[in-house]
Structure 1
Amino acid sequence: MAIKRIVAFGDSITQGWDGNRGVTPWTAEVSKRLSVPVDNQAVGGSTMSGDNRDHNFVQQVQNTNLSGYDVATIAFGTNDFAYYNSSLSAVKSALTNGIDTIKSKNPHIKMIGILPIQTWKGATNLDTRNGAGYSQNDLLAAERSIYQQYGIAVLDWRDAPLVTAANHSRALGDGIVHPTAETYVKMGDRIAKFIKDNTATPPAPAPKPAPQQDIKPITATGQFMFEIYMDIYTDSGVLHYVHNADRNFSLDIEFSLPFDNTSDRSVGEITIWNMSQISFNRIHEGNRVVVNAGYHGDTGIIFDGQIYKTTVPTREGGDLNYTLRVVEGTDYRKLKHVSLTFGEGTDATTIINKIVQVSGINLNFVSLGRNYVFKEGYTVDGSPFDALSDVADQTRSALFYRRGQLTLRWLYDAEVTGNFTLDSKSGLISSPTMERRDDDWIESDDDDGQGRYEYSADSILNYRITTGEHVHLVSEFVDVWAAVLSGEHTFDGTNPTTTLELGVK
């Protein structure tokens, strides 16, 4: 088969994390070696089973429009074994459910199973049993058996281990489970070869990808191909809503969904026209909502959060208007208070990791502007989330929700997660304007990590644009690399638009 596009599902080992900071994941090496795009949908902390209710295999699949993919890779299990003690039956059931969901969404997609690499989290070898009473060998055998039942090729690292008892302290960034940048390259090389060997024909040769990924040019015709896929997770099942060119199944959906670089949960609004009254009555405050949007064959997540308020339906002419007010991410401010004391000279990384461990906050810890040292120590006596936000400020980093995932990141780090050009050919629809920030940022004590300048711009809606993405902004008078600070995805029924504020270091 000629592979045109690959989607990767997984946890932090697929997402790209060395135990201390974000690194280039193995998916980048696969893309390079096979000369095809690889869309990385992995989220750190994800489980195969549903034990991590916020991030797991089935949810990743449900949140992804699979219509444009030829190959899907599946790589879960580490968190089930080492952090959640998920039962083997739950893991096998979730793997079966996820595979069935993929097949239902795209019957022609080729799946590739990737077993977890060995972990030393609570284990000294592959036969050490976890709190649920099974070993890594048991987990790997269980996953492998499910893949084989479906006729899915499965990569088993035990056949030729990259990480062993002899080298794990060097091959893993934390010495426990997360690969170093060098190991990620080796993994990508192995996985690329495995994909190539297990597809009927290798992908046609293509030029080596440029270091930046340009957004597809979108014309006026493209706007008529705009699509929305929306899922509402009610107590009685998932409600699926679609807006596309197929008028037999499409509903009119409008939205205003902001994003920013603060720790406050962004509040948005979604309007669904002519939803059935029965369906509306199933929707309640607290239900999870996931919105994917984009253009035919190229959609992605723009919102993941909860409903915080439903409104009374209104009628305009012969049409019913159902409006939902939604809030992004998980509310960690409601967590129970904690008491922690750190001694003199404790650095920010140590404090952050401890707060996350004690509180259970699901944090995507990417990078820090500086690893601030608290010379007089640090005390937490109250909300763990507020303490996390305070420590983030000291490191000149942003604590924010990125498509529903709480993220800690210095916005100008080198770990590019969305590196592309935005110009008139790729969706820019207004001339960027610039505003210089107060010069106080120059003083080291006042440097908040937000940058010297801010640019404002408007684009045709692009799901890739969200907080922390790095954008090459180009117009007649502007040519800068900038980091996305905030913005808003909107659709009024006619015009899909993304407004964005960008910062320049």
Structure 2
Amino acid sequence: MSKLFKRYIEVLTGNLRFNNTDLDIEFDIPFDDDLEPNLSEIVIYNLSESTRNKLKRGQTLTINAGYVEDKGLILSGSIEAITTVKNGADLATTIKVLDSVPYDATKTLQKSYKKNIKSDAVIRDLAQSIGLKIAVLNLPDNKVMTDGYSIDGEVVKAINDIATDCGASAYISRGQIYVRPIKEGDNHNFILKADTGLIGSPEYFEEEKNGTTIKGYKVKSLLQYRMNTASIIKLESQFVKATVRVRKGRHYARGNDFYTEVEAVL
């Protein structure tokens, strides 16, 4: 655990840069594998009035966190709201951030596509229509729509339905859309064990979803930026050795807490 000391938090937005050496910073950053953007909350204490006035709704905000010798990106999104309240002797500025570029999650569309169009082409066009950038588009079964395709409803639902029909999962992470097989992800060749931050023992779970049994582990660790939606990690503990894919979780820092908690599937 030689690198897991001296916590590091850096918040960037506009021309502003904040870090936990100069200011007290807290956050709660959820993530998951669906197309609904997640709302994160960042609290920064005792900002000056002139600095607070530079924080603007719609600005991109990113957070890098971890440790001085081992840090990385945990959030990239758009500022949704800013409030400042008195908290004892301190001023607490709360910034709420959507983990996506601004887009209308309920936007509807009426449109028809030509015969024999491929599913990935429709997904690309639909994503563009609501202003979402595609980071990964990999359909296990890129079906040809022989009769064409028509949409008359919510764009996000249509993207999700087409992805599911082609054997993929669609979700938003760090401001971009990912469409790929549920078992695929970002392999950082990271082994989570006691020496790299694992806390306690992974907790096994099973659940039924759409007639399928999903198996996996609930895991808690010291804050680990490598664990995010679709991260592939190896678990190593006294009783568990497994390779898993993260499906949801949260990074949080408050007081002495500086943790990542995830649910990961086998």
TM-score, normalization: structure 2? 0.89
Partner of 1:299: 71
Q: 1:361 is aligned with what amino acid?
A: L
Per-residue deviation, 1:285 = 2.1
Following TM superposition, by how much is the alpha carbon of 1:356 offset from its aligned partner in structure 2, in angstroms?
Answer: 4.1
Task: Report what 1:243 is aligned to.
Answer: 20
Pair 464,380 (structure 1): closer, same or farther in 2 beyond 3 Å: same
- Do residues 342 (structure 1) and 113 (structure 2) align? yes
Q: Are the counterparts in 2 of residues 441 and 452 from structure 1 also a CA contact under 8 Å?
A: no
Partner residue, 1:429 = 199
The 5 A counterparts of 1:46-61 are none
Would the aligned equivalents of 1:333 and 1:383 in 2 still touch at CA under 8 Å?
no
Please say if residues 101 and 132 of structure 2, whose CA atoms lie closer than 8 Å, have aligned partners that are also in contact.
no
One-letter amino acid matched to 1:387:
A
Using a 3 Å threshold, how does the CA distance of structure 1 residues 314 and 436 change in structure 2: closer, same or farther? same
Secondary structure of residue in 1 paired with 2:256: coil
* Correspondences of 1:2-41 after superposition (within 5 Å): none
Larger deviation: 362-371 or 488-497? 362-371
2:51 equivalent to 1:279: yes
Q: In structure 2, do the counterparts of structure 1 residues 379 and 304 end up closer, same or farther at CA, with 3 Å as the change threshold?
A: same
Looking at secondary structure, tell me which structure has more helix per residue: 1
The answer to whether structure 1 residue 232 and structure 2 residue 13 are counterparts is yes
Letter in 2 for 1:241: F
Per-residue CA deviation, residues 108-147 of structure 1 (Å, 9 max, x unaligned), is xxxxxxxxxxxxxxxxxxxxxxxxxxxxxxxxxxxxxxxx
Q: Cα gap change, 1:358/1:468 in structure 2, threshold over 3 Å: closer, same or farther? A: same
For residue 370 of structure 1, give the secondary structure of its aligned residue in structure 2: coil
The one-letter code matched in structure 2 to 1:476 is: Q
Unaligned segments of structure 1, at least 5 residues: 1-216, 245-249, 443-450
SS in structure 2 at match of 1:393: helix
* Residue in structure 2 matched with residue 152 of structure 1 by the alignment: none
CA contact (8 A) 1:337 1:383 kept: yes
2:252 aligned partner, one-letter code: T
Instruction: State the alpha-carbon separation in 2 of the partners of residues 388 and 331 from structure 1.
Output: 17
Question: Does the 8 Å CA contact 1:253/1:493 hold for their aligned counterparts?
Answer: no
| Displaced runs of 4 or more, over 6 A | none
CA separation of 1:218 and 1:387: change in aligned 2, threshold 3 A: farther
Amino acid at match of 2:19: V
Residue 320 of structure 1 aligns to which amino acid in structure 2? L
Taking only aligned residues, the RMSD between alpha carbons, in angstroms, comes to: 2.5
* Structural mapping, 1:68-87, within 5 Å: none
Pair 494,475 (structure 1): closer, same or farther in 2 beyond 3 Å: same
Distance across 1 between alignment mates of 2:55 and 2:172: 24
Residues 103 and 131 in structure 2, CA contact (< 8 A), matched pair in contact too: no
Q: Decide whether aligned partners of structure 1 residues 485 and 251 sit closer, same or farther in structure 2, where only a CA change above 3 A counts.
A: same
Give the corresponding residue for 2:222. Answer: 460
More strand by share: 2
Deviation per CA, 1:336-380, whole angstroms, max 9, x where unpaired? Answer: 754432356644223223434566531112422433454654212
1:371 counterpart = 2:133 = no
**TM-score, structure 1 as length reference:** 0.49
Q: Work out which of the two has the higher radius of gyration on C-alpha atoms and give 1 or 2.
A: 1
Q: Distance in 1 between matches of 2:105 and 2:207?
A: 34
| CA–CA separation in structure 2 for the residues paired with 1:434 and 1:375 | 43
Displacement after TM superposition at 1:459 (Å): 0.7
**Any residues of structure 2 matched to 1:319-334 within 5 Å, and which?**
319-333=90-104
Q: Is contact 1:287-1:306 (8 Å) kept?
A: yes
Q: Deviations over 1:263-318 (max 9, x none)?
A: 011111111111112211222322221111111132211011122122232222x2
Rounded to whole Å, the distance in 1 between the matches of 2:215 and 2:145 is: 29
Q: Which amino acid aligns with 2:227?
A: I
Number of residues of Structure 1 aligned to a counterpart in Structure 2: 266
2:244 corresponds to which of 482, 486, 492: 482
Is the 8 Å Cα contact of residues 132 and 176 (structure 2) preserved in structure 1? no
Instruction: Give the letter aligned to residue 227 of structure 1.
Output: Y
Q: 2:2 & 2:172 partners in 1: Cα distance?
A: 28
1:254 lines up with 2:26 in the alignment = yes
- The 1:256–1:379 alpha-carbon spacing in structure 2 relative to 1, beyond 3 Å, is same
Aligned to 1:399: 170
Deviations 1:208-230 (A, max 9, x none): xxxxxxxxx357xx33x111111
